[in-house]
Amino acid sequence: MSLIPRLFGNRSAFDPFSLDLWDPFFNSNETTTIANTQVDWKETPEAHIFKADLAGLKKEEVKVEVEEGRVLQISGERNVEKEDKNDKWHRVERSRGRFVRRFRLPENAKVEQVKASMENGVLTVIVPKEEMKKPEVKSIEISG
């Protein structure tokens, strides 16, 4: 028996890199889609790249922000479909409601140069990295 479901409610997967677990916003009933907003984070030599599956959302319905403390925040809202009294639902699996995902960026992130784009329901956020300075090596002459 795992402790994770008890500690984190109906959250299906524990994400140690995401900060949204500690956000008081996480405990709100309106944030039902946090666990269903899938985000990949990869690092290349030039950048940190985040890809979020946001099918059905327009770019105007999504916010990408960098907060103090180098925290990347992706948020938005999936609206509930209008219902007709004669409708009979057989299954509801698509997520609805507000979502927030937060990631603490590493020190080498150039937060002032973050770029975001959205295509085919996938949000891509690119955070360029500072060039790593190679340590200067100085030869010392050995006297003898």
Question: Which residues of the chain are under the pLDDT cut of 50?
Answer: 1-16, 19-35
102: in domain: yes
User: What does the block give as tokens for 104?
Assistant: 């603490």
1: in domain: no
Question: What's residue 70's pLDDT?
Answer: 92
135: in domain: no
Question: What's residue 46's pLDDT?
Answer: 95
- SS3 for 143? coil
- Compute the distance between CA of residue 6 and CA of residue 116 in angstroms, rounded to an integer: 35
- Give the predicted TM-score (pTM) of the model: 0.65
Q: State the total domains in the chain.
A: 1
Question: What's the CATH code of the domain at 25?
Answer: 2.60.40.790
30: in domain: yes
115: in domain: yes
User: What does the block give as tokens for 64?
Assistant: 């990408």
43: in domain: yes
Domain boundaries, position 68: 16-79+95-128
Strands 115-119 and 39-43: unpaired
Question: What's residue 72's pLDDT?
Answer: 96
